[in-house]
């Protein structure tokens, strides 16, 4: 079941978020222009936001009416995260990420500071495998760590979760149908995994319960990002 907030997206667009992973304004705006007609959301991450600030949000909005996903992964004491969330809430993002490892009080602070934004709790980064988790002191395999952090974030009011496609079915069973599940680490069949450790195809991620697929380099690294986005969007809608 797709939550109501996802049904509000234009029906001609696929449930894909394209990361504008660049530090250059012109490149980000060009990508947003090209992919915007085909996907639900464009994602602005730390590199671009820290280099260009809030102005990049306005520039992207000027070329597309796709949703804006601020992937800032806030992680600090609750008061500081509340202030940061409040600062960017005025930009009107659809989603804003915070690290669930910051704890329930921190997630709740973000939710309360930005009531009109869907706060997305990041569980375990898709670049991390079991060995990487053990090295930073997170007990158990990735699936168990993801489920613990998912339950914590939702309990604190998060309306969305970020998890790898390999855990999405278990997370859906854990949190039910009312939470938006955002899955990085999505790669079309045969695509390079690059720095992602836990991946799946778009079709598998959606079948397992994902609502929004983060697909970056297979689109933005293409000769024609607009055509690549259109092709992937068509395949996702058909699937």
E strand map for 86-215: 95-99, 118-122, 160-162, 180-183, 212-214
Could you state, in chain order, the average pLDDT of each consecutive group of 10 residues for the chain (239 residues)?
A: 42 88 96 97 97 97 97 98 98 97 97 98 87 82 91 98 92 95 76 51 87 94 96 85
Instruction: Report how far residue 9's alpha carbon sits from residue 62's, in angstroms, rounded to the nearest whole number.
Output: 18
Model-level pTM?
0.88
Per-residue model confidence (pLDDT) at position 189: 55
Per-residue model confidence (pLDDT) at position 66: 97
Calculate the alpha carbon distances from 136 to 78, 131, 200 in Å: 22, 9, 25
Angle between helices 168-175 and 142-155 (to 10 degrees): 30
CB-based contact 158:71 (threshold 8 Å): no
CB-based contact 185:126 (threshold 8 Å): yes
CA atoms within 13 A on the CB side of 58: 5
Six token digits for residue 65: 């009416």
Catalytic positions, please? 73
Per-residue model confidence (pLDDT) at position 6: 45
Per-residue model confidence (pLDDT) at position 18: 97
Per-residue model confidence (pLDDT) at position 2: 38
């Amino acid at each position: 079941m797709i939550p109501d907030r996802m049904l509000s997206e234009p029906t001609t667009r696929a449930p894909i978020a394209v990361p504008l992973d660049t530090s250059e304004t012109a490149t980000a705006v060009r990508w947003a222009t090209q992919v915007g007609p085909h996907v639900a959301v464009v994602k602005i991450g730390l590199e671009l936001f820290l280099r260009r600030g809030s102005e990049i949000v306005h520039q992207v909005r000027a070329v597309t009416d796709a949703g804006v996903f601020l992937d800032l992964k806030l992680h600090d004491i609750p008061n500081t995260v509340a202030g940061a969330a409040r600062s960017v809430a005025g930009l009107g993002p659809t989603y804003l990420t915070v690290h669930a490892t910051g704890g329930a009080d921190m997630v709740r602070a973000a939710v309360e500071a930005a009531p009109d934004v869907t706060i997305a709790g990041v569980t375990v980064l898709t670049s991390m495998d079991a060995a990487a988790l053990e090295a930073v002191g997170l007990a158990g395999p990735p699936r168990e760590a993801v489920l613990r952090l998912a339950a914590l974030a939702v309990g604190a009011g998060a309306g969305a979760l970020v998890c790898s496609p390999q855990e999405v079915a278990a997370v859906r069973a854990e949190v039910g149908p009312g939470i938006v599940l955002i899955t990085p680490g999505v790669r079309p069949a045969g695509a390079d995994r690059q720095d992602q450790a836990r991946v799946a195809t778009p079709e598998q991620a959606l079948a397992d319960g994902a609502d929004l697929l983060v697909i970056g380099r297979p689109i933005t690294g293409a000769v024609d990002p607009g055509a690549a986005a259109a092709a992937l969007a068509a395949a996702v809608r058909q699937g």
